[in-house]
Amino acid sequence: YAATGAAPINPDILKLFHFLDIPIFEGYGMTENTAVATVNYHGNNKIGTVGKPLPETEIKLSEEGEVLLKGQYVMKGYYKNEEATNESIIDGWLHTGDVGSIDSDGFLSITGRKKEIYVSSAGKNIAPLVIEETMKSISILSQCFLVGDNRKYCSALFTLDVGAILRDKVGIETHKISKDPTEQYKQIKENGYSLSDFTENEDIKSEIQSNVDELNRQFSNPEQIKKFSILPRDFTIDHGELTPTLKIRRKQINENWSDIIESMYID
């Protein structure tokens, strides 16, 4: 078997590997609790969750839904940083900064980061991470950035997966597609196309819209994506939109694409 963590994994991927009799179990934790707090395993596995707490580990949710941890695996504190320690550990409970839910069987699900929770103009709390990861299951997309903080409705910025374009739209066999993004752009040009031929393509927009409509059914009305824009390029580290570990930087993306974002709210 194998374990996965650090970022959400599409449940369909887990289902596929389990179908192939290659079990992959999702877990959750952080450095401050020695890496693992909860995990799925043989006989106790619920796809779509990050499992149950390890032995000697307690878990609960705050009133705001933040995941709190206690146990022998939780750190005593940050080295020579009492202030940070007191902010993170309160009454013996480690405040993870993650928001989640615990089902009736005791399985934990992570829905987002506390500091990233959006509040709509109607006061509805929205966790962008779950929605973004769900939309990224659309095969032609590489990134989804949800917009909705203090807005009347949610919208999204999408970027296209060049590898998927080469495979599904240009017709190149998978093993001939480079893994290097720069080389993929070259392959697009070598085949007589530019990326804008796809980012501005109405058929592709319609294809994505159909997928969005289907996936929206998983969410409440305030969480559903009402409008979207396809960006002319992917998010990059060089433009400040991704961290070195490829996590999105929300503030920078909002700044870089503010004109396009605002255009989705002109009613």
pLDDT at residue 218, as a whole number: 92
pLDDT at residue 252, as a whole number: 95
Q: What letter represents residue 48's amino acid?
A: G
Band of the pLDDT at 34, cuts 50, 70, 90? Answer: confident
Band of the pLDDT at 115, cuts 50, 70, 90? Answer: confident
Domains of the chain are: 2-116 (2.30.38.10), 126-263 (3.30.300.30)
Q: pLDDT, tens digit, for every residue of 140-198?
A: 999 999 999 999 999 999 999 999 999 999 999 999 999 998 999 999 999 999 999 99
Q: Residue 144: name the closest of 229, 266, 262, 221 by CA.
A: 229
pLDDT > 70 fraction of the chain, expressed in percent and rounded: 100
pLDDT at residue 11, as a whole number: 85
Average pLDDT over all residues of the chain: 92
* Residue 111 scores a pLDDT above 80: yes
Stated pTM of the model: 0.77
**What are the E-state strand segments in 120-220?**
125-126, 141-147, 154-160
107 touches 49 (CB < 8 A): yes
If residue 245 lies in a helix (H) or strand (E), which one and from where to where?
Answer: none
Residue 24, strand partner residues: 2
Band of the pLDDT at 125, cuts 50, 70, 90? Answer: confident
Calculate mean pLDDT across residues 215-233: 95
* Residue 216 scores a pLDDT above 90: yes
C-alpha dihedral over 110, 114, 119, 125, to 10 degrees?
40
